[in-house]
Amino acid sequence: MKPKKVATTPIDGQKPGTSGLRKKTRTFMEPHYLENYIQATWNGIGGVEGKTLVLGGDGRHFNDRAAQVVLRMAAAGGAERVIVGRNALLSTPAASHLIRKNKASGGIILSASHNPGGPDGDFGVKYNVANGGPAPENVTRKIFKATQELKKYFILDAQDVDLDTLGETTLGKTVVEVVDPTADYQELMAELFDFDAIKALFAEGFRIRFDAMHAVTGPYAKAILEDTLGAAPGSVVNATPLPDFGEGHPDPNPIWAKELMDVMMGEDAPDFGAASDGDGDRNMIVGRGIYVTPSDSLAAIAANAKHIPSYAKEMRGVARSMPTSRALDRVAEALELDCYETPTGWKFFGNLLDAGAATLCGEESAGTGSDHVREKDGLWAVLFWLNVLAVRKISVADLMADHWKTYGRNYYSRHDYEAVDAEAAQKLVDDLRDRLDSLPGQDFAGLTVETADEFAYDDPVDGSRSEGQGLRITTSQGGRIVLRLSGTGTEGATLRVYLERVETDPERLHDDPQEALASVIAAAEAIAGIKDRTGRDAPDVIT
């Protein structure tokens, strides 16, 4: 079988964002669109000849077709082996693990993560490098450059590979190995956590509801929580991955996982609720009657790592993305751990994890993880919580109350303005950037600005610098406002406004976050004129 050479021309806008290339599914299905990007990826990484790659996706519409294209193009490029999850399914953390475990050169993950799927939804392609993590900026830059210079791509003229059956086949000279998507991942989780303790917890009648949101984590959660750890059958709901996620929005937050929220706030709520996103790297943690913000979850995980032997042994530093609340910093200070602040996106944690500088990391957007893989990991976070609850024999609400009493509470909320006119959003950010220097000392809605800058990151490991990573403003009374534009949307611009205020008064630790943040919210509006400039009365999504 000889690879076919296809003439093509560069396609505009194939620029990887926060997490790979994300576009409308229909865009990806246009002639040459996917092929161009895959060829540009191969070109950007110096070809795939003789390499081992991992391939899988979150099962959304076009996942199966795209996987066959990637296989034919990997074969055309002379890849030695492609390890594929059965039916082209792999959660993002499981793909990261497979890359590491098999010492693969990298992998392709087909996913638009928390974005809705289906023919009218979104699709995405992400390239991960040999450490199992998302390609860093020096690689994504090369891929983008290759998209702009592309004149041809190579693809094998062949039938579909049977991805239904486990085992090895060949495509041209390339070995295609179909693996069970959950087996290796489950083994890794069993090494990290005390499965016996969690089993005992469920045996005592502890009840969990895990909402897989019809996305990729269903089979993983069923295998681990129900079949292995003994959670009651039916604990995992919406467990079958569907190409359109059951017309849902697989983003685990109180808005999109409302069904779970309603159950957890209701009378007969189980002890623990959790959800995960499209590709299984995000998590949402809910206790009976209490939603745990991702920033708090990260801080609680760091504070309780001592209860989990595999982490107690070797806690190095911790890291959070810049917009993530500083609750983690307070824990790090108390435990005398280094605490790193990185730009948004998991790719920035890779170097810290590789260098052994950080053990745990997380983002306010429901991403938490550790050095066990190089991606955030939804089910890992759930198991971490379960392990801690099993050891401490405490409810989620009591654990958080205890946490806030010890460390203070960083009230936190993110306000998203979605599908805003791209020019208006850019102008809002540009104008505010120009005014940053003049802000310190000025009063807005009763708060005085203390510092204002644009975040830039100097990677302490390789010295690379990433600029333009969000505007941040701190105020009196422990307030902080961060503004940035999303890099994962596919329509117009999404403006994210991150709001935070520290509270240490023991009498004020259990207030409603929106009320506790009212002064910071008002200050953000007074500083940036968000309503006026976006033409919106209120955010589309508040988390």
Answer whether 360's CB lies under 8 Å from 318's CB. yes
Question: For residue 435, how many other CB atoms are within 10 A of its CB?
Answer: 13
- Which C-beta is closer to Co ion: that of 113 or that of 295? 113
Which residues lie across from 85 on neighbouring strands? 179
> Which of residues 363, 377, 500, 503 is near ligand VG1 by CB under 6 A?
363
365 binds ligand VG1 (CB under 6 A): yes
Dihedral sign for Cα atoms in the order 277, 222, 214, 37: positive
Buried b (16+ CB within 10 A) or exposed e, 346-365: bbbbbbbbbeebbbbbbbbb
Site mask for ligand VG1 (CB under 6 A), range 212-241, x = bound: ------------------------------
Binding at 346: pick from Co ion, ligand VG1, none (beta carbon under 5-8 Å per type):
ligand VG1
CA distance 457 to 484: 15
- Output the residue with the shortest Cβ distance to Co ion: 113
Answer whether 189's CB lies under 8 Å from 228's CB. no
367 binds ligand VG1 (CB under 6 A): yes
The DSSP-derived string for 132-167 is SSBPPHHHHHHHHHHHHH--EEEEE--PPP--SS-E
438, burial (CB in 10 Å: exposed 0-12, middle 13-18, buried 19+): exposed
Q: Which of 91, 113, 297, 365 is catalytic?
A: 113
358-363/541-542 β-pairing: unpaired
128 binds ligand VG1 (CB under 6 A): no
426 binds ligand VG1 (CB under 6 A): no
118 binds ligand VG1 (CB under 6 A): no
Of 48, 381, 372, 375, give the one whose Cα is nearest residue 188.
Answer: 372
Number of residues that bind ligand VG1 (CB under 6 A): 18
Structure token digits, residue 298: 């990260």
Of 499, 513, 538, give the one whose Cα is nearest residue 291.
Answer: 513
- Which C-beta is closer to ligand VG1: that of 81 or that of 484? 484
Specify the residue for token string 């697989």.
250
> Which of residues 172, 345, 369, 478 is near ligand VG1 by CB under 6 A?
345
Name the residues that contact Co ion, by CB under 5 A: 113, 277, 279, 281-282
Is 113 a residue of the active site? yes
- Which C-beta is closer to Co ion: that of 284 or that of 481? 284
320 binds ligand VG1 (CB under 6 A): no
Binding at 345: pick from ligand VG1, Co ion, none (beta carbon under 5-8 Å per type):
ligand VG1
Strands (E), 280-423: 283-287, 290-292, 317-321, 339-342, 358-363, 367-370, 409-420
- Which C-beta is closer to ligand VG1: that of 394 or that of 485? 485
Per CB under 6 A, contacts with ligand VG1 among 460-499 are 486-488, 496
377 binds ligand VG1 (CB under 6 A): no
368 binds ligand VG1 (CB under 6 A): no
325 binds ligand VG1 (CB under 6 A): no
Site mask for ligand VG1 (CB under 6 A), range 43-82, x = bound: ----------------------------------------
Contacts 24+ apart (CB under 8 A), 435-443: 436/471, 436/473, 439/473, 439/527
CA distance 543 to 531: 18
Site mask for ligand VG1 (CB under 6 A), range 267-306, x = bound: ----------x---xx------------------------
- Which C-beta is closer to ligand VG1: that of 77 or that of 116? 116
> Which of residues 344, 368, 469, 543 is near ligand VG1 by CB under 6 A?
344
Site mask for ligand VG1 (CB under 6 A), range 178-207, x = bound: ------------------------------
Which DSSP category does 373 fall into? S
- Interface residues with ligand VG1 (CB under 6 A) are 18-19, 113-114, 277, 281-282, 321, 344-346, 363, 365, 367, 486-488, 496
Catalytic residue numbers, as ranges: 113
